[in-house]
Every structure is written in C-alpha cells, then in structure tokens.
Amino acid sequence: MSRTQRRGPDKRRGPVKRRGPIQSRGTVTIDVERCKGCELCIPACPPEVLVMSTRRNSMGAEYPELEPGCTGCGACLLVCPDFCFEIFRYEEPVLHEASA
C-alpha cells in the first residue's frame, strides 16, 4: 500500500464531524482569489479542518474554508500550487464552539 493511499480514500469529501468545543492552536489565511480549486490542500491537512466551499471566486473556482481545529502545521501551505496560504500559530490556543 502506498503512502498516499494510507491517508484513506474519503478525505477530500471533508472532515468528519466532531462534538464539543474545538481548540485551534493555529490558523491560516487563504488568498481565495488566487485559488484554482485543485483541492490538494484538503487531504493534506492532518486535522482535516479544510473544506471546499460551495462558493466560487471570480475565476470560477471553489476554494477551501477553514473549520476550527487548525494546528498551524503548514501542510496546506506546502502543497498548495498557488501560494494561497499563510500560517499562524496562536500564542494561546483558541476555542471554538463546534457546529451541530
């Protein structure tokens, strides 16, 4: 089994829903106008907090959105071919209320 397969086939469908308040140790900025909607960042995110939006940018591309739980690991930045991400690590983790 290959390295990429190991990550599981369902990853680009979006994160598994979790319950309770979620802690973000980091966050990202996304230059959505530059995004071409390739979805490479989605499975690259270890905590699976990136999800493709249903909206489109002015080039017509769907782009990723961030759900709570980012660790600031930077994987998304590394894999993005369009230089969309900037990574931040919080001095103090930030807590979010999870969605229903």
Which residues of this protein are in contact with ligand SF4, per CB under 6 A?
26, 28, 30, 35-41, 44-47, 49-50, 63-64, 66, 70-76, 79-80, 82, 84, 87
Q: Which of 63, 61, 36 is nearest to 50 (CA)?
A: 63
94 binds, among ligand SF4, another protein, none (CB under 5 to 8 A by kind): another protein
* Smallest distance, another protein to C-beta of residue 36, A: 4
Q: Which two tokens stand for residue 31?
A: 């230059």
Residues 52-91 that bind another protein (CB under 8 A): 52-54, 59-61, 65-68, 70, 72-75, 77-83, 85-91
CA distance 43 to 51: 9
Q: Which residues bind another protein (CB under 8 A)?
A: 2-5, 7, 12-14, 24, 26-32, 34, 36-40, 42-44, 51-54, 59-61, 65-68, 70, 72-75, 77-83, 85-92, 94, 96-100
